[in-house]
Amino acid sequence: MNPTSEIVSLINDYFSLAYDPSSRSFENIFHPHCQVQWLRNGSLESMTAETYRALIHGRASPLSAGAPRDEGIVEIRHLAPHLAVATVNVRIFNNAFVDHFAIHQVDGKWLITNKTSFIAKTFS
């Protein structure tokens, strides 16, 4: 598989994890040192990969709530042989997020090493 195909596969696994956390292994998607960041009321918020893992596994999943599934890859750019960035759209319950990922190839495996998000739209 070529690097772009591997990254697309990683992102598709992320989409599945976001919709049903029991469907994929978190460790195969996020690097243990990944940071998840967003702005809340103008202040930068951040959490570790482990905290993010606990968050998504500790809530009801969108699948279990019967929430619609809507996602897509906006862009993938290769910055170096072992570094890429991606922008994706993903709906989680009533929020449509735009996620920006830094993705590194570590020990031959592509993993998300930084996730920065914002809510682009809220559905009622």
Residue 80: count other Cβ atoms within 10 Å of its Cβ: 8
Q: Are residues 85 and 100 in contact, defined by beta-carbon separation less than 8 angstroms?
A: yes
For 42-84, the pLDDT digits (tens) are 899 999 999 999 999 999 999 999 999 999 999 999 999 999 9
pLDDT at 24 over 90: yes
Helix (H, G, I), strand (E, B) or coil at 89: strand
pLDDT at 40 over 90: no
Q: Are residues 114 and 101 in contact, defined by beta-carbon separation less than 8 angstroms?
A: yes
State the Cα–Cα distance between residues 54 and 47, nearest whole angstrom: 11
Q: Are residues 65 and 93 in contact, defined by beta-carbon separation less than 8 angstroms?
A: yes
Going from N- to C-terminal start, the domains of the chain cover 3-122
**What radius of gyration, in Å, describes the C-alpha atoms of the chain?**
14
> 3-122: which CATH number, 3.40.109.10, 3.10.450.50, 3.90.180.10, 3.20.20.10?
3.10.450.50
